[in-house]
């Protein structure tokens, strides 16, 4: 899903309605305007973390979502090289199947 606004109520409801959310792919334009949007998406995905096996996001995680993804087998985090990124939030992440 590609987005460029801050209205995430529809996608949040869609994620919450899933019984076996297996693959998640989000592409976004990383900027401060979308930070709260991405945080809300991550918090919603944490509720389905046990079933997510494939995750592709276009931003550096803002929450501790990766710590919750115990069954993750594929992870793709795509961020622009022109954006300063702090990866310290990944220091203690354990992804046993990755």
What's the pLDDT band for 24 if we cut at 50, 70, 90?
very high
For residue 21, being part of any structural domain is answered with: yes
Nearest in space to 37 (alpha carbons), one of 55, 59, 19: 59
Residues 54, 22: Cα–Cα separation, whole Å: 6
For residue 75, being part of any structural domain is answered with: yes
83 or 40: which carries more pLDDT confidence? 40
Sign of torsion, CA 95 78 60 44? negative
Number of domain units in the chain: 1
Nearest in space to 29 (alpha carbons), one of 19, 18, 37, 21: 37
Residues 30, 60: Cα–Cα separation, whole Å: 9
Domain holding 52, by residue range, is 2-82
Q: What's the predicted TM-score (pTM) here?
A: 0.78
For residue 88, being part of any structural domain is answered with: no
For residue 53, being part of any structural domain is answered with: yes
């Amino acid at each position: 899903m590609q987005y460029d606004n801050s209205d995430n109520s529809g996608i949040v409801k869609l994620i919450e309605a899933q019984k076996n959310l297996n693959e998640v792919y989000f592409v976004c334009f990383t900027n401060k305007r979308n930070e709260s949007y991405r945080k809300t998406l991550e918090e919603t995905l944490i509720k389905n973390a046990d079933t997510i096996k494939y995750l592709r996001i276009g931003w550096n995680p803002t929450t501790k979502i990766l710590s919750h993804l115990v069954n993750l087998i594929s992870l793709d985090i795509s961020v622009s090289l022109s954006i300063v990124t702090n990866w310290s939030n990944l220091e203690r992440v354990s992804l046993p199947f990755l």
